[in-house]
Amino acid sequence: MAEFNLVRNTRVFFTTNVSQATGRIPTSGATFTAANTVELQVLDGFSFKQATQTSSIQLKEAGETPSRGQRTFNVSLDPVDFSFSTYIRPFLNAGVVSAEEQVLWNALMSAKPIDTVGVTLGGTNSATTVGGTLTGLSRANTATNVATIAITTAIYTGTPLVVGDIITVSGCTGANAAEWNAPARVSALSGTGITVEYLTAPSVASGTAPVGATAIKLFYGAWTSNAATGTTAAFGMTHFGGSNKNQLQKFGIIFAVDGALYAVDNCAIDQAVIDFGLDAISMIAWTGKGTALRQLPSTAILTGAPGTSATFSGAGNATGVSTATNTTAPYITNKLSSMKLVSGIQGNAGVSYTVALTGGSLTIANGIQYITPANLGVVNTPIGYFTGSRSITGTVSAYLKSGTAANPNSTAVLLNDILSNISSAAETKFQLQIDVGGQSNAVRVELDMDGCMLQVPTIETADIISTNIGFTAQGTSALVADQAYDLGNTNDLTVRYFSA
């Protein structure tokens, strides 16, 4: 009797238990663990497929009895295409904010895995610490993005830090801790300090030093978690700081369809789309590619009910246990979401517009391109990929509300401000922040774009007149006073998760 595979019984796993040389998921000799394999709760509508390219040779002859045959060859396999959607579900775990999809954010934005240990500044010398006593983090003045982490004694010579590394500062406290707990580049290492250059300079309001910076850590990877400090709530953060790489983090995807396990090797997240449909639960549509799709050996077994740790086993196979899914994490409804625009890069000009959304979406794309050889006589397969231009674009829609400059909720004022100075509309400069779930709610996600080029809004005629606003997030100078876009900087987008 045939055994049918049902989509309702499918489970999806993200794993970094792959070869660092090839990105291939092992079938033996390696262990799946809660640290390297995470189950993702996905929605119906997922897909994974790999198309074949063929070449046909056709005969074309003249005469009354021409030869009319053809021969077809399999030439190559396309990269594997996979897609699925996950809900945005931040949750508080041991005082820090986490989310199942944090592994996907990190893979989208970084070449390094999530760093759960970090480099401790001060304390005992080891492979993950910098020796000496930490005395603080400070800037010469509030107009610079350069800060110095002062240490009273010599830095440990075996420190993992290297000049040029992109790290995330964590552990600062005080009212403006979120601005100091941010991505930066290590620019110098000396006997008594570490110099970092923030990708976006902390604001004037944050002063010249964070309060109580005695437990600073530096983390690699795009995703970091910060505990609550003072008036700053705990948050998880991800950013594009370390994304200027030809290849991103190596990982694999396993689709467990009833009793069959399908592996996608050497994956890359190509695109993430967040939709702001009013009647929907907040979610992200992920699309990616891989070099190969294969079914794991028939002896490979997956046990454990959904919502519990999954166990991979079977004679001769890679074995181990994944993390369990969090079935109690809160959901976010889009109808609570809001958008705030402030004129000027980093909101420097200070003219603020609060827009009540009626819809829209944000698309984050890496422009992934896989490469495939073209040898004769064989079926060629992709050998790898390279990233293309980073693209962060979107559109939002809102009702066209008339008003005056004193009314920050007036979309008509925003439209008029752009149209009244059309010469500057060729390159508009705004700070844009979308609060998925609402700005004042404890469970929310902030999509913060310090430099955003707005297109001239368009008018849509219906029973209620509305406007559509297209935007493109771009890298900016780290110094707010410059008011300039910077193609080389990677501060296009910062995403912060909050929960309670």
Residue 102 lies in a domain: no
Indicate if 312 and 170 belong to the same structural domain. no
- Dihedral angle, C-alpha 122, 93, 16, 10, nearest 10 °: 180
Q: Would the pTM of this model clear 0.85, i.e. be above it?
A: yes
Residue 227 lies in a domain: no
Residue 232 lies in a domain: no
Give pLDDT, residue 436.
Answer: 93
Task: Identify the burial level of 368 via C-beta atoms within 10 angstroms of its C-beta, where 0-12 means exposed, 13-18 middle and 19 or more buried.
Answer: buried
If DSSP codes are grouped into helix, strand and coil, which group holds residue 98? Answer: strand
Indicate if 262 and 295 belong to the same structural domain. yes
If DSSP codes are grouped into helix, strand and coil, which group holds residue 355? Answer: strand
Q: Which domain holds residue 141?
A: 115-220
Residue 341 lies in a domain: yes
Residue 394 lies in a domain: yes
Tell me 9's DSSP state. G
Give pLDDT, residue 308.
Answer: 86
Indicate if 347 and 436 belong to the same structural domain. yes
Beta strands in 258-358 (DSSP E): 260-265, 268-275, 283-290, 292-295, 301-303, 311-313, 319-321, 338-343, 352-355
Q: 462 - beta bridge partners?
A: none
Are 97 and 89 in contact by the 8 Å Cβ rule? The answer is no
pLDDT (tens digit, 0 to 9) for every residue of the chain, 500 residues total?
Answer: 457 777 888 999 999 999 999 999 998 888 999 999 999 999 999 999 999 999 999 998 899 998 989 999 999 999 999 999 999 999 998 888 999 999 999 999 999 999 988 887 766 655 566 666 777 888 888 889 999 888 776 555 556 788 999 999 988 887 778 888 999 999 998 777 889 999 999 887 766 677 665 678 889 999 999 888 767 788 999 999 999 999 999 999 999 988 789 999 999 999 999 998 888 999 999 999 999 999 998 888 888 888 888 999 988 788 998 888 899 999 999 988 888 888 889 888 778 888 888 889 999 999 999 999 999 999 999 999 999 999 999 999 888 877 666 566 667 788 777 776 655 667 889 999 999 998 889 999 999 999 999 888 888 888 888 888 899 999 999 998 899 999 999 999 999 999 98
Indicate if 295 and 164 belong to the same structural domain. no
Give pLDDT, residue 1.
Answer: 41
State how far the Cα of 498 lies from the Cα of 417, in Å rounded to an integer.
33
**Residues near 103 by Cβ (< 8 Å), separated by ≥ 6?**
14, 38, 114, 223, 251
Indicate if 253 and 210 belong to the same structural domain. no
Q: Please give the structure tokens belonging to residue 399.
A: 């009702």
**Rg (Cα) of the chain, in Å, rounded?**
25
Q: Please give the structure tokens belonging to residue 465.
A: 């007149």
Indicate if 202 and 257 belong to the same structural domain. no
Indicate if 473 and 375 belong to the same structural domain. yes
What is the CATH number for 454?
2.30.110
If DSSP codes are grouped into helix, strand and coil, which group holds residue 389? Answer: coil
Domains contained in the chain, number: 3
> What values do phi and psi take at 335, rounded to 5?
-65, -15
Indicate if 347 and 492 belong to the same structural domain. yes
Indicate if 311 and 375 belong to the same structural domain. no
**CB neighbours of residue 117 within 10 Å:** 10
Which stretch of DSSP H or E encloses residue 104? Answer: helix 102-109
Indicate if 403 and 479 belong to the same structural domain. yes
> What values do phi and psi take at 395, rounded to 5?
-145, 145
Question: Looking up tokens 């074309």, which residue turns up?
Answer: 60
What is the CATH number for 133?
2.40.30
Which stretch of DSSP H or E encloses residue 152? Answer: none
Residue 143 lies in a domain: yes
Residue 130 lies in a domain: yes
Indicate if 215 and 264 belong to the same structural domain. no
Which stretch of DSSP H or E encloses residue 411? Answer: helix 411-419
Which stretch of DSSP H or E encloses residue 105? Answer: helix 102-109
Q: Please give the structure tokens belonging to residue 282.
A: 């907040």
Indicate if 189 and 252 belong to the same structural domain. no
State how far the Cα of 498 lies from the Cα of 347, in Å rounded to an integer.
22
Q: 48 - beta bridge partners?
A: 82
State how far the Cα of 382 lies from the Cα of 107, in Å rounded to an integer.
20
Q: What angle do CA 243, 27, 301 make, to 5 degrees?
A: 110
Residue 135 lies in a domain: yes
**Residues near 105 by Cβ (< 8 Å), separated by ≥ 6?**
222, 223, 238, 272, 495
> What values do phi and psi take at 236, rounded to 5?
-100, 140
State how far the Cα of 310 lies from the Cα of 322, in Å rounded to an integer.
5
